[in-house]
Homo-oligomer: A and B are copies of this chain.
């Protein structure tokens, strides 16, 4: 089957180097784990750069990256594959996880905690010393390609206690914790991604910092780095800075009138 198509993973190779600005020793630690192909768990809030980090590491390590956003309606067959009916009868179709295991990609399961149980247990024999994937419906026990690595992420901040990774799953991963970058680093990222000068980028970063403080007053999450980039793009395009921030920050973050007014006031104070 590998010989049938020259590069089964061509679609998942990164075309260009993703922009990533390290904030600590996360690159080196990931590389230690990669050398032993230890499964890696990325923890951290929405929009702080977990996905970009995996893209960057895949580029750096020269491996294709297959990403799957976990959800309650994703079945094990969606991961592993299924039989499809064809003119000559049924034909086996490798799912994305099987593609990664068979041909040696990094497989990134985003928000693993949202997955159903059958999805979660499928990765157990892949994330211990066995490194196996059972394709039961095909009668095949697949031993992982030497370059296969499993990476998963989740956001520990807004999951209820009923929806947590089970210890039997957690204990299979080496974990890296992510958070929003320090102000200067975040400003550097915003300036780079939105094409802003550093003063304006710093002002947006400072505004974000204040919205994050509203979590104590009930805001589910503060502004992410991605939202600052959105605001910056609109401002550079000629939009009024206040209107741009209302559009990308205040209204997107909440529907609550009180929190909305508080965010509105923070925006107005930042761009008087």
User: A: which residues have CB within 8 A of B?
Assistant: 11-12, 25, 28-29, 32-33, 35-36, 38, 41, 43, 46-47, 51-52, 67-76, 78, 83-90, 93-96, 99, 110-111, 114, 116-118, 120-122, 124-125, 128-130, 134, 136-137, 139-141, 155-156, 158, 164, 166-168, 170-177, 193, 220-221, 223-224, 226-227, 230, 233-234, 237-239, 243-244, 247-248, 251-253, 255
Contacts and interface: CB of A to CB of B under 8 A. Distances in A.
Closest 8 CB pairs of A and B: A73-B118, A87-B89, A175-B251, A156-B255, A69-B121, A167-B221, A71-B117, A46-B168
B29 A243 contact: yes
Nearest to A70: B121
Nearest to A47: B171
The A contact surface, by secondary structure, is mixed
A156 B255 CA distance: 6
A187 B33 CA distance: 21
B29 A247 contact: yes
19 contacts: A29-B243, A29-B247, A33-B234, A38-B234, A51-B128, A69-B121, A69-B124, A69-B125, A71-B118, A72-B117, A83-B84, A86-B90, A87-B89, A94-B139, A96-B134, A110-B121, A156-B255, A175-B252, A176-B251
A32 B75 contact: no
A168 B36 contact: no
A179 to B, nearest CB: 12
A36 B73 contact: no
B88 A174 contact: no
A67 B243 CA distance: 27
B156 A32 contact: no
Contacts of A128: 51, 226
A12 B125 CA distance: 14
B174 A137 contact: no
Given A70-B121, A99-B139, A89 B86 contact: yes
A41 B134 contact: no
Which of A46, A110, A121 has most B Cβ within 10 Å? Answer: A121
Given A89-B85, A252-B171, A136 B29 contact: no
Contacts of A244: 32
